[in-house]
Amino acid sequence: MNFRNIISQTILSLAFMASAGAAGEIEMHKDFHVKLPEEKKPFPEPLAPGQQPGFKFRGTKGWAWTPEQYHAEIPYLVKFKMNFLMNCYTSMWDLEHHPNWGGDPQANRWWEDFPEAKKQAYANIVRECQKQGIQFCFSMNPNLDSTRMVNDGSPESVEQIYKHYAWMQGLGVKWFNISLDDIGQGINASSQAKVVNEIFRRLRAQDPEAQMIFCPTFYWGDGTAEKQKPYLQDLALELDKNVYMFWTGDSSVGGITRHGAETFREICGHRLFLWDNYPVNDNQPTMHLGPVMDRDAGLGDVIDGYMSNPHCKQNQINRIPLATCADYSYNPRAYDPERSIGQAILHLGDTPAQCEALRDLVETYPGMSVYSQYNTGFNSVQYQFDHLLQVPNSRQTALGYIEHLRNLSERLQKEFPVSYQPAQHTLDNDIQTVAKKLAAKYP
């Protein structure tokens, strides 16, 4: 008997029954299983003769990553034919002295000079990107979790933030971002546009090839919502026409349609970069390891660039879903999620045992897209186990599921003794949590 298949099928069947509800609807996107291909093939899926990549720029950003994490991912961007890397704006905060930075306004002191050690670390990242043919994009968000706004009308504010962009431009960087997303202050399209325009003007004066991407405060939806439309229309009139804008899709997280992109672009009046909020976990104790799904094949006809938003601490295991994002963004019209996830695992595992362990981890944490649960904190293990416990007389099945998780943990430790440690930690924490739930249900 295949223990893995028995446990997986049992859990999925029970989850189906438990989640059906009064309306009889199943929440699962599909019965998700990964079939490992018999042979490793070129990846991403090759283009047809004369065909260009779906998106001209394809890559990822960090998520409060350390310099070591950025360095570690550059070889995989090259491996997956990606050409764009943006630092997370929170990486530029004072995380060294404010490790619990969420909501701490002292962490984002954008008007101060960066410490020399941090400047040297990011200069090394820029040089490595240049060496590998990757465009590095420098990013800051001055209005998030800060005691000061940059668009407050004071000339010294522009001077104080521009010095960071001038430093990066001096390193040969050509791509820049100002993000004013997720903020609670300074939400004014006109004043935001003035700051972005002025910094962009200065950058272009030094280098006509300098590029700017602006992440607006309203960065999702088709732009027709009551609060969004006037704001975006003001940006259409006042933001420099050569500035790109970030857009996360029809919603903050979820499926992305060409129609949504066309409507948003028409209202905001600017070229777009897709900030794809997958497989991001927002530093929550979970993982989304299944393939990117539900992206229209024709998005590249409307959008110039594609940027994946990753896991936080689990940047190594993030390479699996990132590979599928690379596959999609390189050749979207030929993209097949089932084929892509199988090839991604083959290209990241060195032995059959390693590939099988990674496959089982992906099936354990397929993530929010597979379940159509569009929440970056969604945890597949907890979700399955909670539904399982709702079924009468489920103790033995629950014990079998926990044994499956423990077996998987042991295999990961054996096959990857020095890799995927944050992912291992997430799994082990979930094992402890579900064991406590079982004890509470069946004392």
Distance between CA atoms of 213 and 138, rounded to whole angstroms? 10
3-state secondary structure the chain: CCHHHHHHHHHHHHHHHHHCCCCCCCCCCCCCCCCCCCCCCCCCCCCCCCCCCCCCEEEEECCCCCHHHHHHHHHHHHHCCCCEEECCHHHHCCCCCCCCCCCCCCCCCCCCCCCHHHHHHHHHHHHHHHHHCCEEEEEECCCCCCCCCCCCCCHHHHHHHHHHHHHHHHCCCCEEEEECCCCCCCCCHHHHHHHHHHHHHHHHHHCCCCEEEEECCCCCCCCCCCCHHHHHHHHHHHCCCCCEEEECCCCCCCCECHHHHHHHHHHHCCCEEEEEEEECCCCCCCCCCCCCCCECCCHHHCCCEEEEECCCCCCCCCHHHHHHHHHHHHCHHHCCHHHHHHHHHHHHCCCHHHHHHHHHHHHHCCCHHHHCCCCCCCCHHHHHHHHHHHCCCCHHHHHHHHHHHHHHHHHHHHHCCCCCHHHHHHHHHHHHHHHHHHHHHCC
Model-level pTM? 0.94
pLDDT (tens digit, 0 to 9) for every residue of the chain, 443 residues total? Answer: 344 554 555 555 544 444 443 333 334 455 789 999 999 999 999 999 999 999 999 999 999 999 999 999 999 999 999 999 999 999 999 999 998 888 888 999 999 999 999 999 999 999 999 999 999 999 999 999 999 999 998 889 999 999 999 999 999 999 999 999 999 889 999 999 999 999 999 999 999 999 999 999 999 999 999 999 999 999 999 999 999 999 999 999 999 999 999 999 999 999 999 999 999 999 999 999 999 999 999 999 999 999 999 999 999 999 999 999 999 999 999 999 999 999 999 999 999 999 999 999 999 999 999 999 999 999 999 999 999 999 999 999 999 999 999 999 999 999 999 999 999 999 999 999 999 999 999 98
The answer to whether the CB of 313 falls within 8 A of the CB of 36 is no
> What pLDDT shows up at residue 102?
81
Instruction: Provide the pLDDT for residue 29.
Output: 53
| pLDDT for res 13 | 52
pLDDT at residue 103, rounded to an integer: 81
